[in-house]
Amino acid sequence: MTQSTSLPVILEGQVSVAAALQSPYRDVQVVYVRTGRDDRALRWLEHRAREAGVPVVRKEPAEIDALADGTSHGGVIALVGERRSVELADLLPADRPAFVVMLDGIEDPFNFGQAVRSLYACGVDGLVLRPRNWLSAAATVARSSAGASELIPTAIAETAEDAARFFQSKGLVIACAAEDESVTVDQADLAQPLFLLIGGEKRGITRSFLRQADLRLEIPYGREFRQSLGVTAAAAILGYEVMRQRKKLG
């Protein structure tokens, strides 16, 4: 497991903070809770913090607001260390066909978080990202992913092509969403070991990766519609179809 230089990060909201306390990929330094708040969910969070040896400190509402970027924190924030990544090989499970996804070129942290949320819910084994400093957007990503970004194992690759070469050498089928020479997701075999690239809406997928891909996937529509789906919807559909096919096989 690798770690960049540790820098303080603020996570906001009970769901994000609870996920960070559960995660092996980030150290939680302190949890700040608004004075006057006392409910069952908060007591559970305080219990988890004590189990992890993390102090819980009461602060006035104005102090919480001053530390937070947003206003939807609900009176709970945490000071945490930088997110740790793992090696590409660590994303490969030993007991089942792998399902690894790379999200590339997604500019909006909310869309990124929403995509991670869907993929994690669909059982993705791990996430691959290119080097990028998401530090300033950590609170948005964690909140929009409902904490999934804190829980999903994540590795770094310099390029999508580098990641594809590695996973191809490990026997994974390299797949991406594309219109030309594609097969619809319900007709493709997605139960086999799979590395799936989902590109952003602006940059899309490079020609070099398309040449490298073993499988090009198309999401079928229910009517004539020439526009592509947004990355959050595409991630949800692709992730669900992989999950559906694998559950069907038992």
214 burial level (CB within 10 Å; 0-12, 13-18, 19+): middle
Same domain? 51 vs 160? no
Give pLDDT, residue 133: 59
- Average pLDDT on 221-231 reads 88
Based on the fold, state whether residues 110 and 183 are members of the same structural domain: yes
- The residue out of 37, 55, 80 marking a domain boundary is 80
In the chain, the number of structural domains is: 2
Q: Residue 36's CB: how many other CB atoms inside 10 A?
A: 9
* 143 in any annotated domain: yes
User: Same domain, yes or no, for 42 and 99?
Assistant: no
Of 80, 102, 131, which one is at a domain's C-terminal end?
80
Domain-located, residue 2: no
Quickly state the pLDDT bin for 4 (edges 50, 70, 90): very low
Side by side, which strands form the sheet with 76-80?
A: 9-12, 76-80, 28-34, 56-59
The domain boundary, picked from 26, 61, 80, lies at 80
Residues 245 and 229 in one domain: yes
Phi, psi of 113, rounded to the nearest 5 degrees: -65, -40
Per residue in 123-134, pLDDT (tens digit) is 999 999 998 756
pLDDT greater than 60 at residue 32: yes
> Residues 93, 156: one domain?
yes
Which comes out higher in pLDDT, residue 28 or 225? 28
Average pLDDT along the chain: 90
Same domain, 120 and 98: yes
Task: Looking at the structure, tell me whether residues 138 and 219 fall in a common domain.
Answer: yes
Residue 181 pLDDT: 80
Mean pLDDT of 158-165: 94
CATH number at residue 127: 3.40.1280.10
What is the sign, positive or negative, of the torsion defined by CA atoms of 34, 72, 133, 235?
A: positive
Burial class (CB in 10 A: 0-12, 13-18, 19+), 112: buried
In this prediction the pTM is 0.90
- Pair 74, 143 in one domain: no
Q: Is residue 136 part of a domain?
A: yes
**Residue 6 pLDDT greater than 70, yes or no:** no
Residue 196 in tokens: 């799936």
